Amino acid sequence: MSFTLIQIILIGVALLGAFRTVRQFRAGRVPPAWLAFWGACWTALAVVAFIPQTTDIAANIFGVGRGVDLAVYVSIVLLFALSFKLLMKIEDLERDITRLVRALALKDSDKTDHVA
Amino acid sequence: MRVIAVIPCYNEASEVGRVVQTVRSFVAQVIVVDDGSNDASAEEARKAGAVVVQHVINRGLGASLGTGFAAALMNGADAVVTLDADGQHDPSEIPSLVAALEAGADAALGSRMLTRTGMPARRQFANTLGNVLTFLLFGSWVTDSQSGYRAINASTLAKMDLKTNRMEVSSEIIAELCRVGACVVEVPIKAIYTEYSLSKGQNWFVGIKTAIKLLLRRLSS
């Protein structure tokens, strides 16, 4: 069984991703739900790389012409979802920073003319 | 009614002292929130008689207003008036905003669009876009959603939950006033556009960023 260069790269990426995810989970930095999600993503990538025809089966189920088209559509949707999640996370962090800055500012503010 | 003025300030050393001095005669206390300025804004405000609250780093207009509101409530405000540090608001209009609160409103929003005195056409257009976006996202219509001149009574302020950090706070305040069921009135104000205040104005890029942030605020609420 021979593999093309792109298949080797994709399998390598899936293995590396799975390894890193498990390591992060063991270190307690990734919750079980994220381990399951990323585990499924890396497994799907590896399966597609090993047996590219699987994307055609999925494409037929979803009514998309070619398997590779389906992969691109799904990737775009996932990337958008990930970007949105990251944006929301950044907004949360921004709010936390403001809360800290505000607490410091109020603690150190001018005491003159304050009402007791 | 103990009225406290909150003036958010970022690098306004040349104007803030004069603004504080003028505002002082209309309110019980002036709080200047220095938002991590690199110049002598805090010193100038303090010299002019303001209570200064300083952010150690720049956090934006929304964060500054939030800090100013918290400080004003701590200092026993019955009502809070906000205005800009660049001198574009006329402090002699504070009594008309406060009068609206005394007449029973929970919040009085200064509107430049009711007078349109000296307001550049480009600003009017940008403001209208801001009004439409505020209406579409939060369901409340006002004629000048981006106005920084407003008065809000303390009990209403205590119920509001401001989350945004930057320019989007103007629309968020309107959304929050609507959410807490406040009685809101609009009061005509004139805007004083000088070369200085125009140079401090926002560009279209900031406008687009503000719109995106408002959308995120809507989706996260």
Residue A58 domain-assigned (yes or no): no
SS3 B56: coil
Domain span holding position A87: 67-108
What's the number of domains chain A is made of?
A: 2
**Per-residue pLDDT tens over the stretch B82-109:** 999 998 899 999 999 999 999 999 999 9
What is the structure's pLDDT at B169?
A: 94
Query: Which contiguous run of DSSP H or E holds residue A24?
Result: helix A5-26
User: Is residue A112 over pLDDT 70?
Assistant: no
Tell me the H-state helices in A27-66. Answer: 32-50, 53-62
For residues A3 and A42, membership in a common domain is answered with yes
Mean pLDDT on B113-136: 84
Token pair of B102, please? Answer: 């005394």
- Whether residue B4 contacts residue B28, with contact meaning beta carbons closer than 8 Å, is answered with yes
Of B24-33, B83-92, B128-137, B208-217, minimum mean pLDDT range: B208-217
Q: Does A87 contact B at CB distance below 8 Å?
A: yes
Q: Which residue has the tokens 């909150």?
A: B6
Cα separation, B31 vs B149, in Å, equals 15
Q: What angle do CA B109, B111, B113 make, to 5 degrees?
A: 155
For residues A47 and A2, membership in a common domain is answered with yes
Q: What is the strand order of the sheet B51-55 is part of? A: B51-55, B29-35, B3-9, B79-82, B150-153, B107-111, B184-188
Task: State whether A113 and B51 contact (CB < 8 Å).
Answer: yes
What percentage of chain A reaches a pLDDT higher than 70? 93
Residue A14 domain-assigned (yes or no): yes
Cα separation, B65 vs B71, in Å, equals 10
Residue A33 domain-assigned (yes or no): yes
State the smallest CA–CA distance between residue B83 and chain A in angstroms: 19
**Per-residue pLDDT tens over the stretch B140-168:** 899 999 999 999 999 999 999 999 998 99
Provide CB contacts within 8 A for B47, sequence distance 6+. B17
Provide CB contacts within 8 A for A107, sequence distance 6+. none
What is the structure's pLDDT at B23?
A: 97
User: Is residue A115 over pLDDT 50?
Assistant: no
Residue of A nearest to B163 (CA): A95
What is the interface size between A and B, counted as CB pairs within 8 Å? 59
SS3 B144: coil
For residues A46 and A84, membership in a common domain is answered with no
Token pair of A30, please? Answer: 């990734």
Q: Does B163 contact A at CB distance below 8 Å?
A: yes
For residues A47 and A71, membership in a common domain is answered with no
User: Is residue A114 over pLDDT 60?
Assistant: no
**Per-residue pLDDT tens over the stretch A49-105:** 988 888 888 888 888 888 888 888 988 999 999 998 898 899 899 999 999 999 999
Write phi, then psi, for A43 (nearest 5 degrees): -65, -45
Residue A60 domain-assigned (yes or no): no
For residues A18 and A47, membership in a common domain is answered with yes
Task: State whether A110 and B76 contact (CB < 8 Å).
Answer: no
Residue A5 domain-assigned (yes or no): yes
Of B26-35, B125-134, B169-178, minimum mean pLDDT range: B125-134
Token pair of A11, please? Answer: 């399998």
What is the structure's pLDDT at B69?
A: 97
- Whether residue B61 contacts residue B167, with contact meaning beta carbons closer than 8 Å, is answered with yes
Residue A62 domain-assigned (yes or no): no
Residue A56 domain-assigned (yes or no): no
Q: How many residues in chain A?
A: 116
Q: Write the burial class of residue A109 (CB in 10 Å: 0-12 exposed, 13-18 middle, 19+ buried).
A: buried
Cβ atoms < 10 Å from Cβ of B199: 8
Higher pLDDT, B68 or A72: B68
What percentage of chain B reaches a pLDDT higher than 70? 96
For residues A40 and A8, membership in a common domain is answered with yes
For residues A72 and A38, membership in a common domain is answered with no
What is the structure's pLDDT at B201?
A: 62
**Per-residue pLDDT tens over the stretch B177-217:** 999 999 999 999 987 877 776 666 667 777 888 888 888 77
For residues A2 and A44, membership in a common domain is answered with yes
Residue A82 domain-assigned (yes or no): yes
Q: Does B38 contact A at CB distance below 8 Å?
A: no
For residues A41 and A83, membership in a common domain is answered with no
SS3 B82: strand
What is the structure's pLDDT at A116?
A: 35
* Structural domains of chain B sorted by starting position, each given as residue range(s) with its CATH number in brackets: 3-220 (3.90.550.10)
For residues A11 and A42, membership in a common domain is answered with yes
Tell me the angle at which helices B169-179 and B61-74 cross, rounded to the nearest 10 degrees.
50
Residue of A nearest to B62 (CA): A98
